[in-house]
A = this chain, B = another copy of it.
Amino acid sequence: MSIIKGFSKISKSEKIGLILKSIEAEKSCSLIETEYKDSQLQKQFEGLSENTIANFHLPFGVAPNFLINNHSYTVPMVTEESSVVAAAAKGAKFWSEHGGFQAKVISETKVGHVYFSFDLDFKIIEAIFNNAKMDLLNSTTHITKNMDVRGGGILSLELLKVESLNDTYKIELKVNTCDAMGANFINSILENLAGNFTRKVRQAHFENHFKVIFSILSNYTPACIVESSVSLNIKTIEEIDGMSGRDFFHKFKKAVDIACFDRDRAVTHNKGIMNGIDALVLATGNDFRAVEASAHAYAARDGRYQSLSRAEIVNDNFKFSITLPLALGTVGGLTKLHPLSALSLDILKKPKANELMQIAASVGLAQNFSAIRSLITTGIQKGHMKMHLLNILNQLNASDEQIELAKQHFSDKAISFSAVRDFLAV
């Protein structure tokens, strides 16, 4: 195939035509069927990205009964994975009956950097930076004025060396972005700083030794941290899933401990936490790649990748907690542009960003609780495959009668695609 030139410039129907040319034409219906009826809304939606040919769907569900800091929430979740919403709801319900989640934001600082090279003594560029610092800060006021009014803005500006790389340095900007995720805000300040710092270096006649490499926010946000925890006295739980409270919570702690020491498990354990958090992140129009990158890098912050959650039992008191970085926004970005993101924030009663952080951490903890609860009792497959059975049956075009028979048949049997297919073939 030759290179397609100007693909982004042709109309949407021409794009669809080009793409469908080589595949079955009947598929086209599912493409256009998914548009908004309101053409203005559809146009706005398509403008979110480039070369948009359709609206991709993911199930938009809700997990009720989250009790966090004595507030009750119904949490909007967008996920394609069966059992994620069910597990979050189950975890939320259990803990709402046992005091709920206690969540708090530890700090909300975000960072960005101007990276540059300088091939003379560090002291020279350090002196130029220190002299320029106030001017650099003053030069950004046209960008920060609105954020300043809201109580945010620049917290500090520092010159640092880049470890292990000769002649390479960074200006570190720390900011508070209030209720915005803040990527555009931070990048705009940084690019402005880079230009003004270059002028300062030129004025000092060192421009031949200096080069800005790039300016960008960091998605690693170990100073934008939230924690959430649940606790109970294990003696108050007589029975849970056929186990005594004592046996259950000690086994539970063992399962969490394994995720603290065993990397193979830690990754899967944290993936389960993110199942819940990402579903809320997607629902509220936030950026799940940013959240994922920061969370997993944070899990490896000590040089050993480990669980984001911790369990302890002291004097029969069980405490289960999570601490992780979450750079979320409730204004700006997509939060208002996407009609269903706006709805998600409405369902959450229009939270501030730091409240959304607390909700997200609690959802992650609830998700983790339910996953471990299943793992250490019935096993993960029972609940998961029960949800997936319907998917398999739909894929095999089972009738309503067959679906009912299959549900009964597989209520006490291992479910696999081939087992379901064999059952239907009888």
For A297, give its contact among B51, B96, B263 (CB under 8 Å): B263
Q: In angstroms, how far is the closest chain B Cβ from the Cβ of A267?
A: 4
| Residue of chain B at shortest CB distance from A54 | B60
Given A3-B97, A50-B89, A168-B258, are A380 and B271 neighbors across the interface (CB < 8 Å)? no
Q: Is A332 an interface residue (CB 8 A)?
A: yes
Nearest-CB residue, chain B, relative to A85: B50
Q: List which A289-325 residues lie within 8 A (CB) of chain B.
A: 289-290, 292-294, 296-297, 299-300, 303-305
| Given A165-B261, A417-B332, A85 and B294 contact (CB-CB distance below 8 Å) | no
Residue of B nearest to A276 (CB): B289
What residues on B are CB-neighbors of A266 within 8 Å? 220, 297
Whether B47 pairs with A81 at a CB distance below 8 angstroms is no
Asked, given contacts A48-B59, A64-B4, A391-B337, whether A293 binds B270 with beta carbons under 8 Å apart, the answer is yes
| Interface membership of A275, Cβ < 8 A | yes
Bound together, the chains give a CA A134 to CA B113 distance in angstroms of: 57
Interface stretch (choices A118-126, A231-239, A249-257):
A249-257
Give the chain B neighbours of A388 by CB distance below 8 A: 184
- CB-nearest residue of chain B to A345: B23
24 CB contacts below 8 A, A to B, read A3-B65, A34-B55, A36-B57, A45-B57, A46-B59, A47-B394, A48-B59, A49-B79, A50-B86, A52-B59, A56-B59, A58-B282, A143-B416, A145-B418, A162-B262, A170-B264, A185-B416, A192-B414, A194-B379, A214-B376, A216-B268, A218-B265, A220-B267, A271-B292
